[in-house]
């Protein structure tokens, strides 16, 4: 009961990563003990045939439990024993010395003013950046069990990422996630392609659009705006496509109208002077002109 209570206390104060790891770490030990008792009482039951020795079964359970205990303890280390680095606009936490943090801090500080000024948002507090040493610690600490492909997420004035030391691409991906933090302070219900497109554009993460899109554009496989909203976004090459939509809007209409659209994503006619369908046609023309071949253009 104390373990369960601690979970809800931590969760209530907003420390989800501490809650999930403490809860998991203690309950894993209880599960191991319960499994041992179950085997001891049921060794002659059909569930445990005589040909499967007690030691073999216990060894398998012990191995599985050890893995979960290790993950929990590693996650607890990430949650409770943090090295701290503070800059003008960010506070970084890590579970161990990470020589990539200085470079990451410099990169985020360099992009802070560019992104907040462009989106016209003033953040109320420093952004907390928790850096995990590897994907497993990241997934287990913050409960990202449904998104094993994800190596970074954002929260309320917070970022949770896998260390760029493990994967160098996280340097730029962290700028992408920080853009989401900035956007979270804009009160509007944005479609997925606009939310991700703005983060891709200002985070400079086009996700290899020049290689992915040309064959699709040449074949006429260009989705509608509505097809790039919701759960189908990822499966329709939403990331590279969304980048090009925002790139197109910024190039043709400028940041002022883009910002207006971010805040009022339904006002197509007022902001751009064209309907949703007409704007889609203009974007398709932009795609064919700029992404219809594999020629790399200067950006």
pLDDT per residue as tens digits for the range 187-219: 999 999 999 999 999 988 876 777 889 999 988
296 pLDDT band, cuts 50/70/90, is very low
Residues 241, 243, 246, 247, CA torsion sign: negative
pLDDT at 103 over 50: yes
**pLDDT value at residue 20:** 53
- The more confident residue out of 31 and 228 is 228
pLDDT at 298 over 60: no
- The more confident residue out of 16 and 248 is 248
Pick from 66-75, 184-193, 274-283: least confident: 66-75
Token pair for 257:
């109208």
**pLDDT value at residue 155:** 84
Among 42, 44, 39, 41, residue whose Cα is nearest residue 59: 39
User: How far is 239 from 197, CA to CA, in rounded Å?
Assistant: 7
**pLDDT value at residue 38:** 62
| CA distance readout (Å), 161 to 131, 164, 260, 287 | 5, 8, 30, 32
Q: Is the pTM of this model over 0.75?
A: no
Cα angle value 110/111/112 (rounded, 5°): 100
At 127, phi and psi to the nearest 5? -85, 130
| CA distance readout (Å), 38 to 31, 34, 47, 57, 64 | 10, 6, 11, 11, 16
pLDDT at 180 over 60: yes
| CA distance readout (Å), 71 to 8, 205, 278 | 21, 31, 52
Q: Which of 2-11, 23-32, 64-73, 127-136 has the highest mean pLDDT?
A: 127-136
User: How far is 177 from 138, CA to CA, in rounded Å?
Assistant: 15
**Across 207-235, average pLDDT:** 87
235 pLDDT band, cuts 50/70/90, is confident
pLDDT at 33 over 80: no
């Amino acid at each position: 009961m104390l373990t369960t209570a601690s979970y809800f206390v931590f969760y209530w104060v907003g420390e989800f990563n501490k809650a999930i790891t403490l809860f998991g770490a203690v309950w894993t030990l209880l599960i191991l003990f319960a499994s041992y008792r179950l085997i001891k009482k049921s060794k002659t039951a059909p569930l445990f045939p005589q040909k499967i020795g007690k030691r073999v079964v216990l060894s398998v359970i012990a191995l599985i439990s050890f893995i979960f205990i290790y993950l929990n303890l590693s996650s607890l280390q990430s949650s409770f024993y943090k090295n701290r680095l503070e800059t003008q606009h960010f506070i970084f936490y890590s579970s161990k010395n990470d020589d990539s943090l200085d470079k990451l801090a410099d990169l985020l500080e360099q992009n802070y003013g560019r992104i907040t000024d462009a989106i016209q948002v003033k953040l109320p507090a420093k952004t907390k950046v928790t850096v995990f040493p590897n994907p497993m610690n990241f997934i287990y600490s913050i409960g990202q069990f449904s998104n094993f492909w994800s190596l970074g997420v954002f929260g309320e004035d917070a970022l949770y990422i896998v260390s760029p030391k493990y994967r160098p691409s996280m340097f730029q991906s962290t700028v992408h996630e920080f853009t989401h933090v900035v956007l979270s302070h804009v009160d509007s219900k944005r479609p997925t392609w606009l939310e991700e497109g703005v983060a891709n554009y200002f985070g400079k993460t086009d996700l290899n659009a020049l290689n992915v899109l040309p064959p699709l554009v040449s074949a006429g496989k260009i989705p509608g705006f509505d097809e790039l909203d919701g759960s189908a976004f990822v499966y329709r090459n939403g990331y590279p496509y969304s980048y090009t939509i925002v790139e197109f809007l910024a190039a043709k209409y400028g940041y002022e109208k883009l910002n207006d659209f971010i805040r009022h994503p339904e006002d197509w006619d007022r902001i751009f002077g064209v309907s949703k369908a007409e704007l889609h046609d203009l974007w398709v023309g932009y795609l064919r002109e700029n992404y219809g071949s594999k020629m790399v253009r200067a950006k």
